[in-house]
Homo-oligomer: A and B are copies of this chain.
Amino acid sequence: MSVLVVGSIALDTIETPFGSVEDALGGSAVFFSASAANFHPVQVVGVVGEDYPTDSLDVLRDRGVDLSGVTEADGESFRWSGVYSFDLNSRETRETRLGVFADFKPRIPQEFRSPRIVFLGNIDPELQLNVLDQVESTDLVACDTMNLWIDQSREALLRVLERTDILMVNDSEVRQLAEEPNLLKAAQWVQDRGPQTVVVKKGEHGAMLVDRDSVFFLPGYPLEEVFDPTGAGDAFAGGFLGYLASAEEWTPSELRTAVVFGSAMGSFAVEDFSVHRLASARMEEIMDRVREFRKITSFEVRIPEPERV
């Protein structure tokens, strides 16, 4: 019982205040699987162009990721190019060249059709629906989306939500989707449309989990050196869902722990370009960060004794 991810496999050209990289391994399916593979077997469905340096995907194969659902199509690979601001909190897209991704029609291999968990990476909601139509059985559907689809494919996206258990989006995305600035209310708006669990990723400010009965907050992992935020959200999703796939039961408590693992994986993703750091994280290192999260969030509840009030 694997985790199935359908998403982009890209070549990223990125400039941050700390350096730049050209045609580096990227895309939601890549970051997700490099992260989730620490916890559970992962199956990837995606497409690359003739020019893709497929050998470089060995970094995923070496971690046991099943890439037999990745097809090669005639044409150029999907490329994204962006530049980050001084404080890494905002970025500007310089160029998006869809290439073979423009005609991508996910075909889920027969042996991938009964995963324990499906992660629909940030792709056209029509394609996300098409993936769900091909899945024969699964215990949990999670999906990501972005402002482009919220703007242009709202109808299809709402149909995806009806069939989704966990929506994982940025704070700005959930606000835009629900047309509601208050994050709690925005998450409740989503819950009314399908997903009973909403995970809101807030970058350096951490993550929020809104479940049926409770809300949970975790800060971002405190790093002195953030190198490149690209892929942090997908690494988070990989840690979150990979951990859940390894858990027997999906209790509210396990969902919270999954957020902590997701955040730990996101913190590795941003420490280097591409998946370099993410793919080299060992379980001891991951557990160190999980325990550090506990240290930096713990406090005692005390009743004050006012001298005179």
- A63: interface (CB < 8 Å): yes
A309: chain B residues at CB < 8 Å are 37-39, 63-64, 283
Residue in B216, B222, B295 whose CB lies within 8 Å of A296: B216
**A301 and B257 in contact, given A215-B296, A309-B38 (Cβ under 8 angstroms):** yes
* A103 CB-CB contact with B under 8 Å: no
B261 with A38: CB separation less than 8 A: no
Q: How many copies does the complex hold?
A: 2
| CB neighbours of A63 from chain B (8 A) | 309
For A37-57 the 0/1 string (1 means CB < 8 A from B) is 111110000000000000000
Digitize A144-183: 1 where CB-to-B-CB distance is under 8 Å, 0 elsewhere: 0000000000000000000000000000000100000111
Is A307's CB within 8 Å of the partner chain B? yes
Indicate whether A193 reaches chain B with its CB closer than 8 angstroms: no
Assess whether A291 is in contact with B299, with CB atoms less than 8 Å apart. no
> Does A106 sit at the interface, judged by CB under 8 A?
no
A287 interface residue per 8 A CB criterion: yes
**B residues less than 8 Å from A287 (CB atoms):** 303
Known: A301-B257, A304-B243, A305-B246. A295 touches B38 (CB 8 A): no
User: Nearest Cβ distance between residue A280 and chain B, in whole angstroms?
Assistant: 13
Q: Assess the A307–B41 pair: CB atoms within 8 A.
A: yes
Chain A 254-294: CB-based contact to B (< 8 A → 1; otherwise 0) = 10110111000000000000000000000100010011011
| Residues 174 to 228 of chain A near chain B (Cβ within 8 Å) | 175, 181-185, 202, 204-206, 208, 214-219, 222-226
**Beyond A215-B222, A294-B299: 17 further Cβ-contacts under 8 Å?**
A37-B309, A38-B306, A40-B306, A63-B309, A86-B181, A182-B226, A183-B204, A183-B222, A184-B224, A206-B219, A217-B296, A219-B219, A254-B302, A256-B298, A259-B299, A260-B301, A297-B297
How many chain-A residues does the 8 Å CB contact rule pick out? 63
- In Å, the complex CA distance between A302 and B224 comes to 26
Q: Decide if B215 touches A299 in the complex (CB within 8 Å).
A: no
Taking CB atoms, residues of chain B closer than 8 Å to A261 are 304
A253 within 8 A of B: yes
Q: Can you report 5 A-B residue pairs in the complex whose CB atoms are below 8 A from each other?
A: A39-B306, A205-B206, A215-B222, A246-B304, A259-B299
Most chain B CB neighbours (cut-off 10 Å) among A216, A243, A306 = A306
Whether A294 lies near B304 (C-beta < 8 A) is no
Q: How far is the CB of A285 from chain B (nearest CB, A)?
A: 13
Alpha-carbon distance A181/B86, docked complex (angstroms):
7
For residue A87, CB closer than 8 A to chain B, the reply is: yes
- A301 with B290, Cβ < 8 A, contacts A64-B309, A182-B226, A309-B37 known: yes
With a cutoff of 8 Å between Cβ atoms, the chain B residues found around residue A206 in the complex are 205, 217, 219
Q: Does any Cβ of B come within 8 Å of A21's Cβ?
A: no
In whole angstroms, what is the CA distance A293 to B308 when docked? 25
With an 8 A cutoff between CB atoms, is A300 at the interface?
Answer: yes
Cα distance A257–B63 in the bound complex, in angstroms = 42
